[in-house]
Amino acid sequence: MLNYLRERHNQARANVQDFYTSTGVHVYIKDPLNNNGIDIEKIVAQAEERIPSHLLSEVEMIIVGWFDEFEERDINAFYGDGCLYISNIQDDEEDMFDDIVHEIAHSLEEPYGYEIYGDKRLEKEFLSKRMYLKDILWTHDFKAPTEFYMNSEYDQEFDQFLLNKVGYDKLSQLIQGLFVSPYAATSLREYFAVGFTEFYLHPDTHNFLKKISPALYQKLIKLQKINTLDNAD
């Protein structure tokens, strides 16, 4: 009987098409999740609990489903016009939480762009790591033009070089202590977004991020406190 009730409960949750969070964000399930064990309401509530409210101000809606852009751009989430578009194909709850927080990070680049990038400290740290990455990859006979490493903007050709020629599994081994993840090396914007995600995905292990990316870590601390600082003025 207990198993039957649990199954009915899970089915009922899976049939929920949309809801509003306690902060007024509209969550719409366009396509069913591939994993019935994922509790989308819990994940969104967790994100709203961990991330300061002023850093959620740009998000009006979260749509879960499948979109043509995912295949066209080889991605599984993106942000646009106040909306987070999140894939309904997820490994587990942590995977989905990662996608949501990552896109929240991108939502902050317009309102807080000057605070994040204005003094060039983050770009300087990122490009320094990129040049170190170049030396590592060349040592292992993975060679790409130097100009790729000096460009802080996303470059699809360089991304494909890292993904397909080097391979993310191999790259993960080579960048230990340099980047949080292979995707963080693809562009300055992704360097910020991956760091932001790590900051809120693992709030009890900030020492790792602080050690390998001190400028990024300081930016995240400043963003976390910026509303308090504004109110103090």
Residue indicated by tokens 């790590």: 198
CA atoms within 13 A on the CB side of 217: 13
In the chain, what are the domain boundaries? 2-107, 114-232
> What DSSP string describes 153-192?
S--HHHHHIIIIIIIHHHHHHHTTTT-SSGGGGS-HHHHH
Look at residue 16 in the predicted model and tell me its pLDDT: 56
What are 81-124's pLDDT values in tens digits?
Answer: 999 999 999 999 999 999 999 999 999 999 999 999 999 999 99
- How many CB atoms are closer than 10 A to CB 34? 12
Task: Name the maximum alpha-carbon separation found in the chain.
Answer: 65
Task: Indicate the residue type of 49.
Answer: E
Measured CA to CA, the distance from residue 217 to residue 195 in angstroms comes to 8
Look at residue 228 in the predicted model and tell me its pLDDT: 53
What are 45-55's pLDDT values in tens digits?
Answer: 999 999 999 99
Asked whether 56 and 48 are in contact (CB, 8 A), the reply is yes
Alpha-carbon distance values, 13 to 74, 97, 210 (Å)? 29, 18, 39
Measured CA to CA, the distance from residue 90 to residue 93 in angstroms comes to 8
Asked whether 67 and 12 are in contact (CB, 8 A), the reply is no
Q: Which of 130-144, 165-179, 195-209 has the lowest mean pLDDT?
A: 195-209
Average pLDDT, the chain: 90
pTM of the model: 0.89
